[in-house]
Homo-oligomer: A and B are copies of this chain.
């Protein structure tokens, strides 16, 4: 009995760019990227997959892309066929969409040194990233996130995935993109729900890691709610930066016991599913943050004043902090999320709670009665909140 030991490290490097009007002929960013990536050996191809919702609000986008790459035909061969696919969480339930992208990769001869670029919200990025990751054992993948949520969180990270038999992200891989381009112009056409929803991930990361950032959000909540672009760009940049730091300083592919930067997420995942994804991810996370903040307060870990600051900030931003699916009758449904959360992350149950603003602490047990009590508090507060002032 003998053995050979194999050991190696793999380095991953990519940039997250912040820009506006990415496909404007005067914007050199993409052209510069492909210039740096060019190799004398081989021509590279570039296949675009675009969220149909983005094409609806930016009908000139396909033409802009074609014009841009016609100007830069020396750098990369744009595949003339732009693939347009539906977005939103339901898209991740449809295995035909993965197949559609893989077939386009096949049909257009996209090899491992060529590129698939995805333009869209988090769901389209997750779906396209997954299809790229499994084609030819990994085609180079460029992300162009178009929502607040994807620009500050999921789009800049290393995960991709699709749902399987309606289980969220059951299939997926850890594969970093080769570049991320955050274009603020896409934010202008978001509806108010999507503008708002992405902010909850920034609140999440601030609450568990950065008190100063939470104070900044708290003091800019009204401006953010009023769609102030300068405030939003700062929020996205800082949130993306913290997300990247968490990945690179820890266990990027979560092979050990380390956890993603999750707070307020165990109930959020389940709530999305219970509402058939009508409650959007960021909206569910806002409720999850409120729930786990109240839970932290019940443990005596968070002061009533701090809990109130968190809930007030969320409400100022326009979030509704109660959803009928949370109701006592359904609380067993939400509590089921605990088991599924554990199973998806693997290992023992680990839930982030707060021991103060900016100070997340992991626990390994959640008391169902305390959760029900937090739900009851939210229901009561929201019903008062929704009543017209006398």
- Say yes or no: A252 contacts B8, CB within 8 Å: yes
Chain B residues with CB under 8 Å of A167's CB are 106
Q: Per a CB cutoff under 8 Å, which of B8, B18, B113, B342 touches A12?
A: B8
- Say yes or no: A112 contacts B346, CB within 8 Å: yes
Residue A244 is within 8 A (CB to CB) of chain B in the complex:
yes
Contact of A6 with B15 at beta-carbon distance under 8 Å, contacts A137-B172, A174-B137 already known: yes
| C-alpha gap A241/B6 in the complex (Å) | 9
Number of chain A residues whose Cβ lies closer than 8 Å to a Cβ of chain B? 68
Mark contacts of A213-254 with chain B using CB atoms, 8 A cut-off: 1 yes-contact digit, 0 otherwise. 000000000000000000000000100110010011000111
Q: Which residue of B lies closest to A251 (CB)?
A: B10
Chain B residues with CB under 8 Å of A5's CB are 13-16
Residue A365 is within 8 A (CB to CB) of chain B in the complex:
no
Among listed A46-54, A158-166, A269-277, interface-contacting one: A158-166
Q: Which residue of B lies closest to A164 (CB)?
A: B102
Residue A323 is within 8 A (CB to CB) of chain B in the complex:
no
Chain B residues with CB under 8 Å of A344's CB are 111-112, 136
- Say yes or no: B13 contacts A7, CB within 8 Å: yes
Residue A60 is within 8 A (CB to CB) of chain B in the complex:
no
Contact of A345 with B10 at beta-carbon distance under 8 Å, contacts A134-B172, A134-B173 already known: no
By a beta-carbon cutoff of 8 Å, the part of chain A in contact with chain B is: 1-19, 29, 39, 41-42, 102, 106, 109, 111-114, 133-138, 156, 159, 161, 164-165, 167, 169-176, 237, 240-241, 244, 247-248, 252-255, 257, 342-348
